[in-house]
Amino acid sequence: MKLLSFQQTPFITHEGYQRVRLEVTDWDFCNPFRVRCLIDGQVAADFEHFKNYAVFLLPEQKKDTECLIELTPFEDIPVLNRVTLHPVKHWLIPILYSSHEDLGYCAYANKLEYQFYEYTNRAITMCEEQPDFYYVIEHTEWLRSFLYFASPAEKDKLTKYVREGRIELCAIPCGVHTSWADGEQLIRSLHEATEKGAKQFGIHPETIVFADLSGVSWQAVSAYAGQGIRYLVILDNGFRKPSRAGDPPKFFKWLAPNGKDSLFCWYPGTSYRDDIYPVWNDTNRQYPEGTFRFDDTHADLTADYFTNKLEKLGDVPFHVCPISYYDDHEYPNSQLLTICRGMGERWRYPEFKLATPGSFLKEIEEALGENIPVLKGEINDQWADFATIAPRWLADKREAMRLTAGAELLSTMRCVEKSEAVDTEGKDETVNAEDKKAYVFPNREIEEIFRNADRYDEHCWATSSKHPQKMHIFNLNFVKRFAAESALSESQRIILEALEAEKGIDGGKNMLPYAETFSLHLPPKNAIPAGIASQTLRDGSIITEPVAFGPLEEKAFCAPSGSKTVFLEGDSFETPFYRVSLDRRTEKITQIYEINSGRKLLDENAPYPLGTFLYSRNEMKESPDLAIEIPKRRGMNVEEGPVATIVTIYGYEEQSGADTVAEFRFSRFEPTITLELSYDNAGGLLGDYADRYKKNIFYSFPFIEEKPYTFLTQLPGGKAYAVEEKIPACPLDFSVAEHWTALSGEGRGIALYSFDAPVFHFGEIQYNRFSTDLSRTLSHPHIYLYAASNRTNNLNLRTVEDCCGRFRMAILPYTGRWQDTLPDWERRLTAPPVPVHTKANRPSFSLDHKLRLLSFRPLGEDSILLRVAEDKGENLTSVTATLPFEVSEAWYATLTGEKLSKAESAGNKVTFAVDAWSYATLVIKGQVSFKAQAPMKETLKNIVLIPIENARAIVCFEKTANCQAKAFRVVSFGQVLAEAPNDLYRVQTIELSERPHDFTVEEIL
């Protein structure tokens, strides 16, 4: 008999004995053997045993001490073994406890708000009853909901426990995906916590928790650190395939692209309920309050689990090993307290306790000191298809964010214009009465736009049944469709109102504070600038040659629209920038030659031509092989006009049933190639629960470049990262961009911009891989746009007419560094001129550098917040902003507008500095007056009808706090369709047996 292993565990009894484990080999498996341990000649353990391993207690040692272990087989002589007992670390096991809420699959989304209130109240009650209870509010949507329903006394209790550190407020609004966010959206998503939360509770949140599958963009490090966030917890779902490069360390400093900002991260590499789930089992759902029993078996298995976990952690300079343990939609309960107390009764160390992340992460950060590993790189989402389950609605949301910066800017300028028109006392009788009307900055509406952009922008489990419940349909429509459509329509309305476009649109206005040239894409029958070449497209819209605009300049459009085009024959055509080769037989673009360089843009040996609709099918979500179907060609037109040569390819894909159109526009005036890719009637996407994950749509972009090459992806703040800059835990299968990605070679590249869909696959379609293996070679220099998924079939894809998509894109070859071309190109595409009722002598605002303008809005009654982002990698020491008013003082500020140090100002100019890949925020005070929006007067808003099934529908609307109605009724052409009492939820729902063509909602007082 031999001693195979001897293990000291970190478990120490209250009497000072340590749990140890030994394992033997060559035991006869028939008879007991004897174990006898001697320390300093004294017998410390002596027992008979009938198993090949034994767990027992020895006295804890304060220094290295020799221990003699005698193993005596049955009726045999002892076998002597010597081991050294080492002092062990006294560990603390803090447990993070919360509830994860994504797009609710357990309740109607409108009722989730009240459940947040109930959850928080339960956590408050447990804090009152149990001094060792701690809780984490994972999202500020919880806080928002609680404050709406709570009484003053309940609010005071929450304030008390937040200030005491018993309840920690995390700063992220809800389950969001930051990778496809707008740069300002990253910042403003935290304002509910960093501004309102701080005022409410007198504390400043320092922690963000990302749970389950949503991801956090690398650029978010600066956006969060600049608002006082110190700690980031990433609790992923744990189904990634391992990387040969290894997972990142559990604790590391995540350095921002600018190399200055950082967050201290905890990345355990397991799900938010940790992998001790098999030991502790489910929580509230299986063990209602008061019935969970923590017995010796639970305790022994827990000790085994943490012995192995701490051994894997190794020799670290801290004594804290945190875990997370909570689930979705989990009502606060005492199970974890029972576990902590049960372990505490048995063991003095490790100490088990509930804790908030900020407390234990601070301790670990301080213990690591200068030894904290430092990582730079992207950690994108764990999965890609959340962007593609409802691509039309995501496109609306992205469009809303694209317009909101301009909406803020133009509304602010309108406020300045009104303050100039009327003197401060309002006594100037020479001013036209119309101009005297105060224009109030729409801060409330803009806050709502940002909220809708973030609102549960996560995955949807509503495909959990073959025939979805009406609740699932409501949730997807209300949270995703309505939030997106509402954000877009509100941003459009604010712009039109700020520019007085309701008086008649007769021009366009540059939305950028510097001179720029744009090729315009105007609605059908729109006027165009005089003397400018134009061309009408097949949908009636109009494109023009490039038009030069000054900073915020307006141009009158007065010339009639119209153009003459001719259809071309032959297998090629030329523009000033490209020679394009066609295959008329197969109806595809075979090659694009850049005339100046002679380079080819397309891989002629690629499996799929440029812009091809690809219907991807696989047997399981992780099947190794994919079946790809492509359309049969049904026509190819080449049309030459005064602005562009347009190639339009029509097709039909049999398996999905999709009618496809791919339109490529080659301008005569600029090298940008614009595309519009669309499909309709793709009924093959429909199906039942068994089909989800298995049907997806991609578009192919078979670019070509000589090795070595890499793929670049644009971050929300403007920085681009290469595939090689992903952190090992990050999936390699796809990348999520704010707008563009690029194939980058030696001194040149090809960029691909997407207005609508943000997910790209590199090399090949890898939807089913989930791999983080950064050492894997990407097979080809091709890019694939991930356009749509059937994951929510029977929800948003409920009829053949629903199975459609439209994707606007652009291609630009470039030479030299991407920074020298793509940032300016991206801003021209992202912020084109908007329709306007032209007006002379509007106030203007300009920057003398082409920076990304993120925000220009009122801050108080006489100040403006100006925020820009540097997106070319340059340290700018002197940027001058010319304001539309006299500046009295200017300050550098935090991202939330708190003043830091003075900036240089003179007259109407402010001069400031901004570092590479960084934000610069200034608070500028001057001779201007802003009026705050009055409290909301209307009691009902955001009225929407959501189809449920057959002819049935749900009407839902949001009630403001001043709503005193006893009930509501839905009226259509004088007929009452339904009535419902006023329930306690902020969003009211009324079910209808049939869908009205037109209706109103009336209050019954």
What is 852-894 written as a DSSP string?
Answer: EEEEEEE-SSSEEEEEEE--SS--EEEEEEE-SS-EEEEEEE-
The overall average pLDDT reported for the chain is 89
- Contact predicate 864/582, CB 8 Å: no
Residue 542 pairs in a beta bridge with: 522, 536
Confidence of residue 89 (pLDDT cuts 50, 70, 90): very high
pLDDT over 80 at 693, yes or no? no
Mapped onto helix, strand or coil, the DSSP state of residue 476 is helix
Residue 949 has a pLDDT of 76
Residue 288 has a pLDDT of 60
How far, in Å, CA of 615 to CA of 79, rounded? 69
Could you count the other beta carbons within 10 Å of the beta carbon of residue 448? Answer: 19
Residue 58 has a pLDDT of 97
Mean pLDDT of 587-602: 96
The per-residue pLDDT for range 511-530, each reduced to its tens digit, is 999 999 999 999 998 899 98
Residue 960 has a pLDDT of 83
The per-residue pLDDT for range 894-923, each reduced to its tens digit, is 999 999 999 999 999 999 999 999 999 999
Confidence of residue 240 (pLDDT cuts 50, 70, 90): low
Nearest residue to 928 (alpha-carbon basis) of 891, 887, 882: 887
Q: Report, in this order, helix, strand and coil percent for the chain, each rounded to 5.
A: 20, 35, 45
How far, in Å, CA of 319 to CA of 917, rounded? 37
Mean pLDDT of 70-86: 92
Residue 196 has a pLDDT of 75
Mapped onto helix, strand or coil, the DSSP state of residue 675 is strand
The per-residue pLDDT for range 730-780, each reduced to its tens digit, is 777 788 999 999 999 999 999 999 999 999 999 998 876 667 776 666 789
The per-residue pLDDT for range 188-204, each reduced to its tens digit, is 999 988 887 777 788 88
Confidence of residue 873 (pLDDT cuts 50, 70, 90): very high
How far, in Å, CA of 804 to CA of 974, rounded? 36
Whether residue 317 is preceded by a cis peptide bond, meaning omega within 30 degrees of 0, is: no
Mean pLDDT of 360-384: 89
How far, in Å, CA of 204 to CA of 167, rounded? 13
Rounded to 5 degrees, what angle do the CA atoms 298, 303, 305 make? Answer: 95
Nearest residue to 400 (alpha-carbon basis) of 572, 187, 573, 181: 181
How far, in Å, CA of 827 to CA of 870, rounded? 12
- Contact predicate 599/592, CB 8 Å: no
Instruction: Note if the pTM is more than 0.75.
Output: yes
Mean pLDDT of 535-546: 93
How far, in Å, CA of 542 to CA of 544, rounded? 7
Residue 423 has a pLDDT of 40
Residue 401 has a pLDDT of 93
Residue 776 has a pLDDT of 64
More confidently predicted of 968 and 688: 968
Give the type of residue at 591. Q
DSSP 669: S
Residue 459 has a pLDDT of 65
Q: Residue 932: which residues within 8 A CB-CB, separation 6 or more?
A: 440, 441, 443, 861
The per-residue pLDDT for range 244-269, each reduced to its tens digit, is 666 788 999 999 999 999 999 999 87
- Contact predicate 406/852, CB 8 Å: no
More confidently predicted of 793 and 595: 595
Name the percent of the chain lying above pLDDT 70.
92
The per-residue pLDDT for range 422-481, each reduced to its tens digit, is 443 333 333 344 444 567 899 989 999 999 998 877 765 555 455 667 788 888 888 888
pLDDT over 60 at 928, yes or no? yes
The per-residue pLDDT for range 113-129, each reduced to its tens digit, is 898 999 999 999 999 99
How far, in Å, CA of 398 to CA of 846, rounded? 25
Q: Which residues of 710-739 are buried (b: 16+ CB within 10 A; e: fewer)?
A: bbbbbbbbbbbbbbebbbbbbbbbbbbbbb
The per-residue pLDDT for range 392-413, each reduced to its tens digit, is 989 999 999 999 999 999 999 9
The per-residue pLDDT for range 825-851, each reduced to its tens digit, is 999 999 999 999 898 889 999 999 999
Whether residue 813 is preceded by a cis peptide bond, meaning omega within 30 degrees of 0, is: no
Residue 14 has a pLDDT of 97
Residue 649 has a pLDDT of 98
N-term to C-term CA, the chain: 87
Residues in the chain, how many?
A: 1005
Mapped onto helix, strand or coil, the DSSP state of residue 186 is helix
Which residue is it, tokens 């003459």? Answer: 564
pLDDT over 90 at 322, yes or no? yes
Mean pLDDT of 712-734: 86
How far, in Å, CA of 955 to CA of 268, rounded? 43
The per-residue pLDDT for range 639-656, each reduced to its tens digit, is 999 999 999 999 999 999
Residue 438 has a pLDDT of 63
More confidently predicted of 778 and 487: 487
How far, in Å, CA of 1001 to CA of 942, rounded? 11
Nearest residue to 458 (alpha-carbon basis) of 441, 475, 435, 470: 475
Mapped onto helix, strand or coil, the DSSP state of residue 905 is strand
